[in-house]
Amino acid sequence: MRAWFVDSPGPMSSHPLVLGDRPEPVPGPGQVRVRVTCCGVCRTDLHLAEGDLAPRRRGVVPGHEVVGRVDAVGPATSRLSVGDRVGVAWLGRTDGTCRYCRAGRENLCTSPTFTGWDVDGGYAEQCLVDEAFAYLLPEGLADEQAAPLLCAGIIGYRALRLAEVPSGGRLGIYGFGGSAHLTAQIAIAQGLEVHVLTRGEDNRRLALELGCASAAGASDTPPVLLDGAILFAPAGDLVPVALRSLDRGATLATAGIWLSDIPPLAYEDELFYERRLRSVTANTRQDGQELLTLAARLGVRASTTPYAMEDADRALADLALGRFSGAAVLHAAS
């Protein structure tokens, strides 16, 4: 099969992704093989290709927003069948035995496996997934719409919950890419007032089109104090900016797997009055199932830019340069 893999991590201009032939994967016990129809392009893929996120092994195939059909099942599978339409997300497996898993906090598992980082992902014609970690997709979600939900949507949903904005409150969103524009729709549907702070005129325009109350530059001050905020941009220098915009007792959730260094914080200006800073780590399967159900019910729509699978390197380069708003989605040849 044809697949993209990370050869030597570096700037996209150095072509860290290589397209080549790989053996067709064979599902093992409890696994199914998925014939990929499309795969979302996540900023984590960019961090992996450029080396901000160190590859767990050489030659890994990126991609963890995978939509496709099961075309083979391994021994001891019982949940999925050939022909099922499924989604494959970032969390590929947990040990199920550590104290976090036993407490229902599998996103903090001490021995997790991640799709497109530890094991090959969806920038390929086929990929494998543990059937317990695959999502049966609601029929109301088209493939291209479902793909960005499988990481961008799930992480944004978890970040929104952890930001703990009270009912009817004011949410700040810093950065407005693939994850943020989905999260904003859910927040608005739940009755929150959303204020977006982001670079790029196109992103600010999209925010207003989706119904956000305001849209300004990333370092600007929102028109009101915020009851909670989410930082999607991987820019540590925005942490103190966002903290200063929080009302008393509010939380800033950082949603990325990678963040540039945070500058020193001024306790009185940025943390006093019980303002909180917390990270968001991966997701649970319950997060994913709740998000997919909610997105289908609320009619959440991803703003997508399609690319052929053969153009995955160009899609990542365009993501790095901010050449599209919303989310990019790779489409496999039919």
For 240-264, what is each residue's pLDDT tens digit?
A: 999 999 999 999 999 989 999 999 9
The verdict on residue 289 lying in a domain is no
Q: State the residue range of the domain holding 259.
A: 153-279
Q: Does the pLDDT of residue 140 top 90, yes or no?
A: no
The verdict on residue 23 lying in a domain is yes
Q: Does the pLDDT of residue 185 top 80, yes or no?
A: yes
pLDDT, tens only, 188-219: 999 999 999 999 899 999 999 999 999 999 99
The mean predicted confidence, pLDDT, of the chain is: 96
- Cα torsion at 21, 27, 32, 34 (round to 10°)? 10
Q: Residue 55: what pLDDT?
A: 87
Q: Residue 333: what pLDDT?
A: 87
Q: Residue 325: what pLDDT?
A: 87
Same domain, 309 and 208: no
Distance CA 153, CA 218 (A): 21
Write the CB contacts of 18 (distance below 8 Å, at least 6 apart in sequence). 4, 5, 6, 7
Q: Residue 305: what pLDDT?
A: 96
Count of structural domains within the chain: 2
Q: Residue 264: what pLDDT?
A: 97
Same domain, 23 and 94: yes
The pLDDT of 67-87, averaged and rounded, is 97
Same domain, 10 and 129: yes
Q: Residue 96: what pLDDT?
A: 96
Same domain, 118 and 159: no
